Amino acid sequence: MASFWTPAAFAQITGGRWLIPPPALDQPLAGVSIDSRQLGPGAVFVAIRGERQDGHDFVAHALAQGAALAIVEQEIPSPEPGGALLQVPSTIGALHALARHYRDLLGASGCRVLSVSGSNGKTTTRHLIHHVLTQAVWRGTQSPRSFNNHLGVPLTLLAAQLGDAFVVCELGTNHPGELAALAELVRPDLAVVTSIGEEHLEFFGDLAGVAREESAVFDFVRPGGSVVLPEARWLPLPLELPARPGVSISRFDLDPLASDLPLPGLHNRLNASAAALVARLFGADDETIRRALNCANAPPLRSEVLFAADPLRPTVINDAYNANPSSMAAALSLLKDWAGRRRVSILGDMLELGERSPTAHQEVVAWALAAAEHCIFVGPCFAAAIAQISPNKAPGTGQVAAYSDWSTEVIEAILAALTPQDVVLLKGSRGMGMERLIPAIESHFPSATNEAAGDGLEFQSTPGY
């Protein structure tokens, strides 16, 4: 076969046919993207049909941006002169075929492929693994932001470099069978499962269903590979471990090397402990791991501590990327332990919990009342849960406020309830968009330091804190 990064190889791997052939079948290609705004000269644009937009509408723009090749499912009217078009039955299938083939090339080049999955903590753990390994002078890449679904995972593989020491792929799921499909693409040399919790119960049914889904990765670990799991005391039920010979199992517990981690919370110390174990499996020494963890930072919207140095603004724990009962418990535990300030929890509904939703929201209300002096809830699920609590904890007592949906008036009421002396937890499911309060807080409270939090927006995927 021709070199992978050529039109000839792409046509052979995908089984496509040329609508418009390239000037040369051996011309070098430079990366793959599904976003026409993020293309450089010589890149390949894969036109994906999405729920809101169809990538075929942007083929002309991609070619005008310098893409050497577009992979499409249909003919494109008036394509940009000089651009090649390769037609395939399914562009998603083509993307997967390319990633599957390239994964084999990565392995042959000595690049170890790591996967990180689990109900909670996968984004932070993936981020910390990459941080520690690169601090220990291994060169490698990781999933950009939360590229953890059927599009993000193949793009992560295709962005890795032959000859690197590693690539860390985050794998997410919210329906049965999704993790197995992603794991088949990645076929990890080392698979990390961070946690098991009540995620997406509308589709998984119960914790046992979650555990079955998260255990699916084990079937795809390569011979001679490793599985990294929490110690049994951190799991609500046992996982079905791989029975195949040649796959080793290692477990992590709270690691003393993570005791000075700058990221707050017990859950982040566990995430860091997983990263420390992975680094040991790579051969890193403890002092190198300790130094790396001591200078780690949080990914966006995951336990980010904002405005802590600004006396004119409340300190904000921005954990707004997603939520389920177990991650809510971890975040509220972090808030409860925060000393020296009035504690305020601002929580949005937890989505996709199915029949478990009413009791789960009632439980979180109770935890919030125990953790914070002032509790604010947003969303119809929390509004219904608040209606079930005792009169002395009802809205209007100064301890609790509940709103069934977002509005300008709701945001103004929340801001009016805050002071610069507060520590504020923001958390809710991705669909609740709790991070909208960050720019509102920045505007409402003048800054003493000109600290800016940014917009916190990123690739839509299967979330994890």
Question: What is the maximum alpha-carbon separation in the chain?
Answer: 76
- E strands along 36-110, which residues? 44-46, 69-72, 84-87
Task: Please indicate, yes or no, if residue 2 is contained in any of the structural domains.
Answer: no
Question: Of 231, 262, 295, which marks where a domain is finished?
Answer: 295
- C-alpha closest to that of 275 among 190, 360, 400: 190
Question: Of 89, 116, 131, which marks where a domain is finished?
Answer: 89
Q: Are residues 65 and 120 in the same domain?
A: no
Q: Are residues 229 and 248 in the same domain?
A: yes
Q: Which residues are annotated as a binding site for ATP?
A: 118-124
Q: Which residues are annotated as a binding site?
A: 118-124
Q: Are residues 100 and 117 in the same domain?
A: yes
Q: pTM above the 0.75 mark?
A: yes
pLDDT in tens, the chain (465 residues): 569 999 999 999 999 999 999 999 999 999 999 999 988 899 999 999 988 899 999 999 999 999 999 999 999 887 767 789 999 999 999 999 999 999 999 999 999 999 999 999 999 999 999 999 999 989 999 999 879 999 999 999 999 999 999 999 999 999 999 999 999 999 999 999 999 999 999 999 999 999 999 999 999 999 999 999 999 999 999 888 877 778 999 999 999 999 999 999 999 999 999 999 999 999 999 999 999 999 999 999 999 999 999 999 999 999 999 999 999 999 999 999 999 999 999 999 999 999 999 999 999 999 999 999 999 999 999 999 998 875 555 444 458 999 999 999 999 999 999 999 999 999 999 999 999 999 999 999 988 776 555 433 333 344 333
DSSP 92-118: HHHHHHHHHHHHHHHHHTTPEEEEEE-
Q: Are residues 152 and 203 in the same domain?
A: yes
Q: Are residues 130 and 209 in the same domain?
A: yes
Q: Are residues 427 and 343 in the same domain?
A: yes
Kind plus residue range of the DSSP H or E element containing 238: none
Q: Are residues 287 and 347 in the same domain?
A: no
Task: Please indicate, yes or no, if residue 1 is contained in any of the structural domains.
Answer: no
> Domains in the chain: how many in total?
3
Q: Are residues 216 and 144 in the same domain?
A: yes
Task: Please indicate, yes or no, if residue 460 is contained in any of the structural domains.
Answer: no
Q: For residue 229, give the CATH number of its domain.
A: 3.40.1190.10
Sheet with 422-427: strands ordered across:
304-306, 315-318, 422-427, 342-348, 374-378, 400-403
Structural domain range at position 216: 95-295
Residue with tokens 């504020």: 424
Q: For residue 412, give the CATH number of its domain.
A: 3.90.190.20
